[in-house]
A = this chain, B = another copy of it.
């Protein structure tokens, strides 16, 4: 009950338009003022809430101090490895990005251990800078372009990884050894990142265009992961059955026509191929919105018309309700942002667990 009420109070403060007083938190939650005050004191002591200076007295009585999420409390460390870059970022409890580091380099020649050690060093730099700023790392999340199960990367064909214990390798960097690390597919984390942007739709297909192409499906504000967590492999939807061989062993996969390498090489069929795959997804799933992220956010203007032409032609319901196509609001940073957000979200959803850790 206390755990539930702590989360309720924290969420009420987080979603208030203006910093609320303890009295207005009590009114909004239906809890007594005494209960709210005790919970707020615990949340302040645990570094989750802060009391803002009261405004100057303008009438009788003591003006109430407003409550807000702290910008100096627990934070999430997001890490991302992709085929051609490493990234790390730190997001605080309010959702603000406090550190963001990117290193561009082809990761394919490196072994998984070396690549993850390099990412660990980058993440450690972000962590140390954030801690110098008063933040406390609650955990880390790692975004990888591949199939993940229980912290292990089962298969990341574009990196050439198989059965890589990515969590352990990342934590091999001494500065990260104390942090819990969760590993997830990059498109899934990116979709969650986009979902957290204020004003985001609650149901959409997020498509991440990198060297590989992945998708994250958000339905009613929840990520649909599939039975084994392997949903969203849109990069391996067949576009031309007898087409180019793909690294996965099949032929004619979307990745071969609309992956970042094909885009950079000016592949004329890129937009059409993407439009065909998205039409398949919309026909199967009935999602009204498609969000293009990763490199697609950069190439959006170039791709848009070609994709929309295919959607109009190939989505059975396009005449009843056109599909909305837009670029990711987080641009190419959605996955690493989503990773850090996922850590923060866990603290926000279960502040009692955080208080036990620091108490």
CA–CA, A321 and B239, complex, Å? 23
Q: Which of A306-358 contact B (CB under 8 A)?
A: 313-317, 319-321
Question: Which B residues are in CB contact (< 8 Å) with A240?
Answer: 241
CA–CA, A324 and B315, complex, Å? 28
Contact present for B227 and A272 (CB under 8 Å): no
A21 interface hit (Cβ, 8 Å):
no
A116 interface hit (Cβ, 8 Å):
no
Question: Which B residues are in CB contact (< 8 Å) with A287?
Answer: 226-227
Q: In the complex where A154-B320, A228-B288, A288-B227 touch, is A314 in contact with B283 (Cβ < 8 A)? A: no
Instruction: Fill in one digit per residue for A15-37: 1 if any B CB lies within 8 Å of its CB, else 0.
Output: 00000000000000000000000
Tell me the nearest residue of chain B to A286, going by C-beta.
B226
Contact present for B203 and A286 (CB under 8 Å): no
CA–CA, A253 and B108, complex, Å? 37
CA–CA, A237 and B230, complex, Å? 21
Q: Which of A136-160 contact B (CB under 8 A)?
A: 147, 154-155, 157
Instruction: Fill in one digit per residue for A215-257: 1 if any B CB lies within 8 Å of its CB, else 0.
Output: 1010100001111111111101111110000001110010000
Contact present for A231 and B286 (CB under 8 Å): yes
Tell me the nearest residue of chain B to A321, going by C-beta.
B228
A281 interface hit (Cβ, 8 Å):
yes
CA–CA, A312 and B224, complex, Å? 24
Q: Which of B277, B285, B315 contacts A231 (CB 8 A)?
A: B285
Contact present for B250 and A286 (CB under 8 Å): no
Question: Which B residues are in CB contact (< 8 Å) with A315?
Answer: 236
A97 interface hit (Cβ, 8 Å):
no
Contact present for B147 and A236 (CB under 8 Å): no
Q: In the complex where A240-B241, A241-B240, A272-B241 touch, is A284 in contact with B215 (Cβ < 8 A)? A: yes
CA–CA, A145 and B285, complex, Å? 17
Contact present for A316 and B280 (CB under 8 Å): no
Contact present for A249 and B313 (CB under 8 Å): yes
Q: In the complex where A147-B316, A320-B155 touch, is A241 in contact with B239 (Cβ < 8 A)? A: yes
Q: In the complex where A276-B238, A279-B238 touch, is A316 in contact with B284 (Cβ < 8 A)? A: no
Question: Which B residues are in CB contact (< 8 Å) with A157?
Answer: 316
Q: In the complex where A233-B316, A313-B249 touch, is A280 in contact with B238 (Cβ < 8 A)? A: yes
Question: Which B residues are in CB contact (< 8 Å) with A203?
Answer: 227
Give 3 closest A-B pairs by Cβ, nearest first: A226-B286, A231-B286, A233-B283
20 pairs across A/B with beta carbons < 8 Å?
A155-B316, A215-B284, A226-B287, A227-B286, A227-B287, A228-B286, A228-B288, A230-B316, A230-B317, A234-B283, A234-B284, A236-B316, A237-B283, A237-B284, A238-B280, A238-B314, A240-B241, A241-B272, A250-B279, A250-B314
